[in-house]
Structure 1
Amino acid sequence: MWTYTPHSKEDSKCNLQSSLYLQHLSNNTHWAIRMLDASLITPSGIIGGAGQQFGHPDQCVQTRIPLPDFRTKYCFPSATMSPFKEMYPDFYNNRTRDWPLYDMEKIVWDFLRPRDQLIRFTRHVFSWGLCIPESCSAQDIQESLNDNLSQAFEKHQIHIQVNLTDLQCYSASEEEHRTMPSAGYLWT
C-alpha cells in the first residue's frame, strides 16, 4: 500500500493524477506525503477484532494540492479475506466461538473464520481509510485494489475481495455543495 494508486480503464484524468501523486511522493513533496500519511498503510489488530481502521479523513480532504484541478478524496473500502479452500477447508465448514479462549497452537484461520453467532463482528472482514485523487471513481478504486491485492495475496493462498461504493467516499468539494436542510437549522 506504500505506493498504491488507483488506475482506471476509462478515465485518463484518474490515471494522470495517480501518476502525478506517485511522482510527487517519490520527490517527498509535502502534499503527497500528507495524502500517504492520511491513508492507513497497514491495518493492524485484525485478529484482535479491530476491523475498522480509519486513517485520517480530515487530513485527507483538507490537503490542498498546488496543481490545477487536483483534489483529494477519502474512501473507506472493506475487504473480505479467506484462505484457499485446499489450504484450510475447515474455514468454510466450521464456525468459531469467542469462548473458551483460543488455542494458541492452532493456525490463524481458526481465529479469523466466521463467528458462531451472527451478532458478533467477523474478523475476516476489515475496512481501512485511503486518501486518493478525487478524479478516481469508487469503481476505479475497487477494481484496482482487487487487482493489486489479489496478486499480492495469491502467493500466500489467500482470497481477498474489496468492496467500495460511492457512499463510502467523500471529498471537500462534496462538503461544499452540501447544505443543511431548513429543519436542521430550526433544530439547532
Structure 2
Amino acid sequence: MWTYAPYSSVNSECTRHGELYLQHLMNNSHWAVRMLDASLVTPSGIIAGETHQFGHPSQCVQTQIPVPNFRTKYCLPKAQFVPYLDLYPNFFNNQTQDWPPYDMETNVWDFMKPRDHYIRFPRHSFHWGLCIPESCSAQDIQSSLNDTLSRAFAEHKIQFTVNLTDLECYSASETESRRIPPAGYVWT
C-alpha cells in the first residue's frame, strides 16, 4: 500500500489524480504524505480479531490540496483473503478450536479459517481506511485494489478480494452538504 495509487479504465480523472498523488508522494509533498498517513498502510491485529481498522478519516477529508480540482475522500473497503487451494487445502474445513488456549504449533491458516459459529467474527476479512482522490468512484477503487492486491499476493498464493460501495466513502464536500441548516438546530 506504500505505493498504491488508484486508477480506472473508465475514469481518466481518477487515474490522473492517482498518478499526481503518487508523484507528490515520491517527492514528499506534505499533502500527499498526509493522505498516506491518514490511510491504514499495514493492518495489524487481524489474528486477534481486529476487523475494523480506520486510519484517520478526519485528517483525510481535512487535507488541503494545492492542486486545482483535487480533493480527498475517505473510504472503508472490506478485504477478504484466503489461501490458494494448493497452499492450504483444508481452509474451508470448519473444524478448528476458536477459544484459548490456542495451539501455537498449528499452521496459522488453521486459526484464520471461517468460523462455524456465527457469534464469532471471521479472521480472514477486515475493513481498513483509505484516503484517496475524491474523483475516484467506489468502483474505481474496488477495481484498482483488487487488481493491485491480487498481483501482489499471487506469489504468496493468497487470494484477495476487495469490496467497496459508495456508502462506505465520504468527502468534506459531502459532509458539508449534509450539514444541518440553522433552522434544524432551532427546531432540535
Same fold at TM > 0.5? yes
Find the counterpart in structure 2 of residue 153 from structure 1. Answer: 153
CA distance in 2, matches of 1:78, 1:95: 25
Q: How does 1:38-187 map to 2 (within 5 A)?
A: 38-180=38-180, 185=185
Q: Which amino acid in the other structure matches residue 94 of structure 1?
A: N
Find the counterpart in structure 2 of residue 23 from structure 1. Answer: 23
Runs of 4+ residues deviating >4 angstroms: 181-184
**Structure 2 unaligned blocks of 5 or more:** none
CA distance in 2, matches of 1:95, 1:18: 43
Shift of 1:97: 3.3
Per mean C-alpha deviation after superposition, the further-off stretch among 137-146 and 116-125 is 116-125
State the SS of the aligned residue for 1:102: coil
Shift of 1:187: 7.1
> Number of paired residues?
188
Give the alignment's TM-score, normalised by structure 1. Answer: 0.94
Shift of 1:185: 3.7
Asked if the contact 1:85–1:92 (Cα under 8 Å) also holds between the matched residues in 2, the reply is no
Asked if the contact 1:97–1:116 (Cα under 8 Å) also holds between the matched residues in 2, the reply is no
Deviations 1:125-160 (A, max 9, x none): 111000010000000000000000001111111111
CA distance in 2, matches of 1:23, 1:157: 30
Q: What is the root-mean-square deviation in Å for CA atoms of aligned residues?
A: 1.7
CA distance in 1, matches of 2:68, 2:103: 56
Asked if the contact 1:95–1:114 (Cα under 8 Å) also holds between the matched residues in 2, the reply is no
User: What percentage of aligned pairs have identical amino acids?
Assistant: 67
State the SS of the aligned residue for 1:86: coil
Shift of 1:101: 2.2
Shift of 1:51: 1.3
Shift of 1:86: 2.1
Q: 1:95 to 1:79 in 2, by over 3 A?
A: farther
Give the alignment's TM-score, normalised by structure 2. Answer: 0.94
State the SS of the aligned residue for 2:92: helix
Q: Which amino acid in the other structure matches residue 39 of structure 1?
A: S
State the SS of the aligned residue for 1:43: coil
CA distance in 2, matches of 1:186, 1:123: 46
Q: Which amino acid in the other structure matches residue 106 of structure 1?
A: T
Per mean C-alpha deviation after superposition, the further-off stretch among 173-182 and 80-89 is 173-182
